[in-house]
């Protein structure tokens, strides 16, 4: 056996030590579920992420992508991006200009998750603020909590220096609410169940007549991203279902429903019928499917199939026995693969090194939702 001199011994043991230090992660299952080296940055969002523009003509996904590729924190970039939509007075589905609840009050919801920091924040039914995504981020950064609601959320926002505007409502949204009230006034003496359905049907009739953009009737933006270092974050912000019962919170502020992020796996978020998504915690389900190795598209299809299976009330089914509502998911994994998937054909936004685009989603069913 060849004897090693001192120099050779030191060299050999140093190399072995480095190898041994690296080994436990691979040997004991501590390595990330998906490798993230050399990831191409991508930002994915609902279609309105490539519609509203800021004063410079930049859309949400474009803004976020530019900030991320220049080194900004991913969540900071996403919040800056969705604020373009939240502050756009010409849309009525997100932020201060969103359609109000049944009493004419604008109540907003938002959530965010920071993958690397493993932190999250959300607000629900907050009034008097224009851009709730930033408040959700402050909940994550400045408190030990994940969700603040109602007046408590408003008081917290005020304490953080966010301007509170009493009676805040966009004039277009106010006029649409008054039209809805005019149409539903004769229905006051219906029993509660019939009245609730009448409220819902009247809103959809206004969509069919072109008085309200169908996408704005549900009104939400989800935006998720991964940077070149594999850092993943997400944000969802909404004004909620138009003419909702005061205090109603949908899926958007609920972690695992309207948004879920795991930095080792990926992110998923949603728009559409919040109650259907809440029942299955679908964003969490999608991330777990991706953890098992599913492509984002296949993971989202699995979630939609579960929603369809769990939809059994006749009022929520069309003549084919399929869900009569829209529900869409926007997903990406830690490798930078992404997909927009919907119950019925829809659109989604994405920004890569090729620039911002609006694309068609993959659909579970053909045709269009009835409501």
In a domain? residue 79:
yes
Q: Catalytic annotation on 143?
A: no
Reported pTM? 0.83
Cβ-based burial of 254 (10 A; exposed 0-12, middle 13-18, buried ≥19): buried
Q: Is 350 helix (H, G, I), strand (E, B) or coil?
A: strand
How far apart CA 101 and CA 108 sit, in angstroms, is: 10
| Count of structural domains, the chain | 1
Domain of 199, in residue numbers? 42-363
pLDDT grade, residue 369 (50/70/90)?
confident
Please tell me which residue in 92, 184, 220, 271 is annotated as part of the active site.
220
Q: What pLDDT was estimated at residue 184?
A: 74
Res 79 pLDDT > 80: yes
Asked if 167 and 103 count as a contact pair (C-beta separation under 8 A), the reply is no
Number of CB atoms found within 10 A of residue 324's CB: 20
In a domain? residue 50:
yes
CATH of the domain at 289: 3.60.20.30
In a domain? residue 19:
no
In a domain? residue 318:
yes
In a domain? residue 370:
no
Asked if 260 and 267 count as a contact pair (C-beta separation under 8 A), the reply is yes
DSSP 324: -
In a domain? residue 114:
yes
- Among 2-6, 170-174, 247-251, name the one with the lowest average pLDDT: 2-6
In a domain? residue 115:
yes
Share of the chain above pLDDT 70, in %: 80
Residues 6+ apart with CB under 8 A from 124: 109, 147, 148, 149, 150, 153, 249, 253
In a domain? residue 9:
no
């Amino acid at each position: 056996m060849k004897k090693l001199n001192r120099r050779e011994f030191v060299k050999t043991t140093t190399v072995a030590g480095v190898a041994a230090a690296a080994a436990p992660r691979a040997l004991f299952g501590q390595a990330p579920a998906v490798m993230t080296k050399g990831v191409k940055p991508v930002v994915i969002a609902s279609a309105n992420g490539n519609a509203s523009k800021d004063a410079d003509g930049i859309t949400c996904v474009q803004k976020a992508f530019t900030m991320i590729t220049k080194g900004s924190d991913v969540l900071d970039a996403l919040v800056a991006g969705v604020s373009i939509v939240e502050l756009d007075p010409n849309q009525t589905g997100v932020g201060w200009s969103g359609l109000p609840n049944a009493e004419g009050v604008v109540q907003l919801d938002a959530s965010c998750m920071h993958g690397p920091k493993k932190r999250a924040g959300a607000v629900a039914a907050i009034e008097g603020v224009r851009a709730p995504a930033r408040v959700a981020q402050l909940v994550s950064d400045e408190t030990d909590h994940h969700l603040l609601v109602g007046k408590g959320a408003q008081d917290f926002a005020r304490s953080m220096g966010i301007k509170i505007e009493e009676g805040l409502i966009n004039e277009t949204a106010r006029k649409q609410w008054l039209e809805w009230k005019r149409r539903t006034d004769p229905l006051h003496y219906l029993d509660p169940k019939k009245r609730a359905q009448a409220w819902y049907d009247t809103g959809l009739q206004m969509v069919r007549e072109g008085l309200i953009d169908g996408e704005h009737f549900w009104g939400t933006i989800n935006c998720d991203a991964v940077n070149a270092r594999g850092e993943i974050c997400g944000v969802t912000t909404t004004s909620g279902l138009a003419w909702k019962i005061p205090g109603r919170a949908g899926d958007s502020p609920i972690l695992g429903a309207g948004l879920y992020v795991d930095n080792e796996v990926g992110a998923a978020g949603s728009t559409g019928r919040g109650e259907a998504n809440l029942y299955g915690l679908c964003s969490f389900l999608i991330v777990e499917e991706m953890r098992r190795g599913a492509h984002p598209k296949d993971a989202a299809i699995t979630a939609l199939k579960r929603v369809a299976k769990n939809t059994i009330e006749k009022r929520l089914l069309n003549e084919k026995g399929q869900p009569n509502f829209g529900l869409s998911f926007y997903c990406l994994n830690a490798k930078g693969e992404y997909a927009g998937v919907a119950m019925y054909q829809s659109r989604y936004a994405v920004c890569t090194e090729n620039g911002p685009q609006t694309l068609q989603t993959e659909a579970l069913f053909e045709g269009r939702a009835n409501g």
